[in-house]
Chain A
Amino acid sequence: MQRSVVVYLVGRIAQSLLVLWVVVTFLFFLFRLAPGNPLVAYIDPTFTEEQQQALMRQFGLDKPLSVQYLVYLGNLVQGELGDSFFYRSPVIELVMEVLPNTLYLTFTSLLVAYGVGVVGGILLAWRRGSRLEQMGVTFTLMTRSAPEFWVGMILLTVFAFNLGWFPSSGATSPGTLYASEWDKLTSWDFWRHMVLPATTLALYLHGLPLLLMRSNMLEVLDEDYITMGRFMGYSELRLMVRHAARNALLPVITAMALGVGYSVGGNVVVENVFGWPGLGRMLVRAVAASDYPLAQGAFFLIAVVMVTMNLIADVLYGVLDPRIGAGQQAQH
């Protein structure tokens, strides 16, 4: 049994690596198809033809595409993402510097969104047919369909500019320096900056888990084992939480993996609206500046985060639902 779990994990990880390889390949060729000279940031119009050629050679852009691709893959495996054309420093350092900010924002908003979504979904299913349910569903549908940049701007107008409760931009106040990442994470200032962007993302993200949880709950509440629980004299709270919610939660776990994808996509917009120094904002800047290595690096990292979350969700699902575990064991 232990052995089959290991086999399953290894297989699943291999599958994730394959996905990453496809993403990387796609990214590589996508950027090579983009119009414009990638060395625009470097090459001054006054450079001679020879100087330009020398630069192209220096960056390896004179070699055929297939060779460039192999070199790229080889470097990637060693964690070498190249140098940014624009910042003239290693991409890996640049993205690693902003990646934590993106992860903090993503996980904070995901946590809030899935916490509110799951609890809200249980509540709406429990109180089905009530005013609370009608209002809850309407509100969720509204926030889910509202564009994030718009919600973000409304929040900025109301809470940052009019009321002045929260800062309007950045992750820390200008001029603040933290001795360590931990100091930043435990500072009041950082979380005050987090509130508006995280709320914007959470408002967008909570709809999926909430509506999914609600409909799963309604389905599970019709199951015979819930009726059995009533026969057994369990309280409604116990039935809802321990018996129904546990079962209704399973598809929500899968949705959470997708949620990470949505939120990384959403991050690009939200980080730009709130000037959040994360991967999304860096990505937009890199694309605008034709900074291929940096854009590729940022995309690559987003892909890594997404694939990893999918992997975690799959493994979690197996832990939560004993029937899935059994199915995997039978397969291997």
Chain B
Amino acid sequence: MAILEIRDLVVAYRTQRGVVHAVDGVSLDVAPAQHLGVIGESGCGKTTLLRAMVRVLPRNASVPRGTIRFKGRDLLALSDREIRALRWREIATIPQASMDSLNPVYRVGAQLVEVLTVRGGLDRGAARRRAVELFQMVGLESQALDRYPHEFSGGMKQRAVIAMALALGPSLLLADEPVTALDVIVQHQILEVFKRLEQELDLTVILVTHDISVVAQVCDSVAVMYAGRVVEQAGTQPFFRTPYHPYSLGLQNAFPNLAQPRAELIAIEGYPPDLVTPPPGCRFAPRCPFAVDLCHTQDPALGAVGPGHQAACHRTQEMEALRAQAADPETWLQVSGMEAPLRPPASPHVQEDPVP
């Protein structure tokens, strides 16, 4: 029984250039205590997907289609008051810009106490005691509660935001690039905190990142997003051992791997398609070294390739051979279709608020 069921979700942004479908028909199931990593490059719709789950979207966004069921309730059908009641108590979010997510004019402890009293219903004394506990849980000293955000280092702020997210004991935690702005050592420390808390608190986590090494460290399953779609979904082990989508192959090539060190990292040439006018066939086809004619005309559906493993590619049958080819840097230099735009398409987030 899934705690979260997303079906055919579409999130659109009105922009001056037209309607951008940042999330375009995504379906996902998340089981209780599952730790799902959502990966993909910038602008593929990861953050939009996450924000749609709690309906905190920019003003020019809309959800024309789809359902999000959380513990059996359709989140998109709830009233504003109902969804607000659910936020943080049931679904807590660690936002992308955690560094700037603390209010600069209030002490960090006061902000923690605020959420515990206003949203958690505790009295001030109990909230203060809980705040101390939460700080200990994420490895911060209780004296730090009396400091202002600007007196915190990046890692401390990240820990404080994690403490805030756990304050009300949510059952689902959404984390958007929780370690991206940190240096690798602090990154590692935060991820260790994360891993420990996931297990201790029996949390369900959806972690969004562009860094597959983060997924490898803290997630038990993976969903790969490309241009607003989920193109592959699998357990972490099978995903790293036998990826089934050429984009996943490309992603793995682009990151250093300690187990199989290689001389050079291979980048995926080109840019993701413009989502105002997406390509008719597979959206990855213009950048895919293995694309055949079919790929440019017909959009592949997400299909099972193994137990709990799905991929959206026409050539999953030949994947064994393709994986071998993908290891050769030459393969990625001769991309068949040159339809990919030379410049990156404008991100839908650039123009968040058009003049109404």
Contacts and interface: CB of A to CB of B under 8 A. Distances in A.
A228 B84 contact: no
B137 to A, nearest CB: 18
A326 B104 CA distance: 12
Interface stretch (A104-112, A230-238, A295-303): A230-238
Contact of B95 (A224, A322, A326): A224
B101 interface: yes
Contacts of A225: 100-104
B150 A323 contact: yes
Interface string B181-197: 00000000000000000
| Interface size band for B | 20 to 34
B84 A235 contact: yes
A243 B92 CA distance: 19
Interface string B51-92: 000101000000000000000000000000000111111001
A324 to B, nearest CB: 10
A233 B95 contact: no
Interface residues of A, number: 22
* Residue picked from A224, A320, A326, most chain B C-beta under 10 Å: A224
A230 B57 CA distance: 10
A65 B88 CA distance: 74
Given A224-B95, A233-B119, A246-B105, A323 B89 contact: no
Contacts of B107: 322
B127 to A, nearest CB: 14
Nearest to B87: A233
A236 to B, nearest CB: 9
Contacts of B104: 225, 247, 321-323
A129 B104 CA distance: 28
A232 B86 CA distance: 9
A321 B148 CA distance: 10
B97 A231 contact: no
Nearest to A225: B103
Contacts of A25: none
A265 to B, nearest CB: 32
A247 B87 contact: no
A231 B93 contact: yes
Contacts of A183: none
B56 A231 contact: yes
A234 B56 CA distance: 12
B258 interface: no
Contacts of A246: 103, 105
Contact of B103 (A231, A243, A320, A326): A243
Interface string B241-256: 0000000000000000
A285 to B, nearest CB: 47
B276 interface: no
B119 A247 contact: no
A132 to B, nearest CB: 13
A231 B150 contact: no
Nearest to B57: A230
A227 interface: yes
Given A233-B88, A233-B119, A323-B104, A224 B97 contact: yes
Contact of B118 (A223, A224, A238, A320): A238
B115 interface: yes
Interface in A281-332: 320-323, 326
Contact of B150 (A227, A230, A235, A326): A326
A18 to B, nearest CB: 31
B324 interface: no
Nearest to B354: A129
Contacts of B56: 227, 230-231
A308 B52 CA distance: 52
A129 B119 contact: no
B259 interface: no
A231 B94 CA distance: 9
A93 to B, nearest CB: 46
Nearest to A326: B150
B355 interface: yes
Interface in A205-263: 223-225, 227-235, 238, 243, 246-247
Contacts of A322: 104-105, 107, 148, 150
A233 B89 contact: yes
A224 B100 contact: yes
Contacts of A247: 103-105
* Residue picked from A225, A231, A323, most chain B C-beta under 10 Å: A231
Nearest to A322: B148
B18 interface: no
B261 interface: no
A244 to B, nearest CB: 9
A3 to B, nearest CB: 19
Contacts of A321: 104-105
- 5 closest cross-chain pairs (CB), A and B: A233-B87, A228-B101, A224-B100, A224-B97, A231-B93
16 contacts: A224-B100, A224-B101, A225-B102, A225-B104, A227-B95, A227-B101, A228-B102, A231-B93, A233-B85, A233-B87, A233-B88, A238-B118, A246-B103, A247-B105, A322-B104, A326-B148
